[in-house]
């Protein structure tokens, strides 16, 4: 069996964007267990070694996916009209990102070295916003992040049921508003 050596059969080199697109598709289709460097290379029609020119390792691949999917979560948060509104904006956007590709969140849980970049920036910014409204900012950070993860990952079972997905999203936003009502508007 002849295997391509770093280039697809069409003679075009594999790009970082193509790698990230294929990796995300594998995660969405088969979950964390389905995303290996070998399965990714097979999907792209290249050798596994050719992937390492674009990503350092599997954790680096997950970090790059995280940066791509969660990168916009923080945009405009500082102009949201105060820390509580910034927290609401950040958490709603993060929840929406988790819901869009829940398998990425699960993969990051399984590989702690992947928690960096945008994921870490979101966590740090959330902590800073919370520090402006409560001395227990680290506890509240964990509560809000866990709530977004739990609520977002619950949608895995609801995929395809539009009414249920909408109801779960509404329930998340209502619960977030209840949690945020604990803080004074600063």
For residue 148, report the phi and psi dihedrals to the nearest 5 degrees: -65, -40
Q: What's the structural domain count of the chain?
A: 2
pLDDT single digits (tens) 125-166: 999 999 999 999 999 999 999 999 999 988 887 777 888 888
Residue 2 lies in a domain: yes
Residues 32 and 71 in one domain: no
Residue 62 lies in a domain: no
Euclidean distance between CA atoms 15 and 40, whole angstroms? 13
What is the pTM for the complete model shown?
0.85
pLDDT single digits (tens) 62-114: 999 999 999 999 999 988 889 999 999 999 999 999 998 899 999 998 998 88
Domain end among 35, 55, 75: 55
Residues 45 and 79 in one domain: no
Residues 106 and 15 in one domain: no
155 within 8 A of 168, measured Cβ to Cβ: yes
Residues 28 and 85 in one domain: no
Rounded to whole angstroms, what are the CA distances from 153 to 50, 56, 102, 105, 150? 33, 28, 6, 8, 5
CATH number at residue 174: 1.10.357
Residue 94 lies in a domain: yes
Domain end among 34, 55, 76: 55
Residues 30 and 86 in one domain: no
Q: How confident is the model at residue 12 (pLDDT cuts 50, 70, 90)?
A: low
CATH number at residue 51: 1.10.10.60
Residues 83 and 145 in one domain: yes
Residues 93 and 147 in one domain: yes
Could you list the residue range(s) of the whole structural domain that residue 89 is in? 67-180
Residues 16 and 73 in one domain: no
């Amino acid at each position: 069996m002849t295997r391509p050596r770093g280039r697809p059969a069409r003679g075009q080199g594999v790009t970082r964007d193509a790698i990230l697109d294929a990796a995300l598709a594998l995660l969405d289709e088969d979950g964390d267990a389905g995303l290996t460097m070998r399965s990714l290379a097979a999907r792209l029609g290249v050798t596994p070694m050719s992937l390492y020119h674009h990503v350092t390792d599997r954790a680096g691949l997950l970090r790059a996916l995280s940066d791509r999917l969660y990168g916009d979560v923080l945009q405009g948060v500082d102009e949201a009209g105060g820390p509580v509104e910034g927290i609401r904006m950040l958490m709603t956007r993060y929840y929406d990102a988790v819901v869009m590709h829940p398998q990425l969140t699960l993969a990051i849980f399984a590989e702690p070295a992947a928690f960096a970049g945008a994921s870490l920036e979101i966590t740090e910014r959330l902590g800073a916003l919370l520090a402006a409204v409560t001395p227990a900012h680290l506890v509240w950070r964990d509560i809000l992040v866990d709530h977004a993860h739990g609520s977002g990952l619950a949608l895995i079972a609801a995929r395809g049921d539009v009414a249920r997905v909408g109801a779960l999203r509404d329930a998340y936003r209502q619960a977030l508003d209840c949690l945020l009502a604990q803080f004074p508007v600063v």
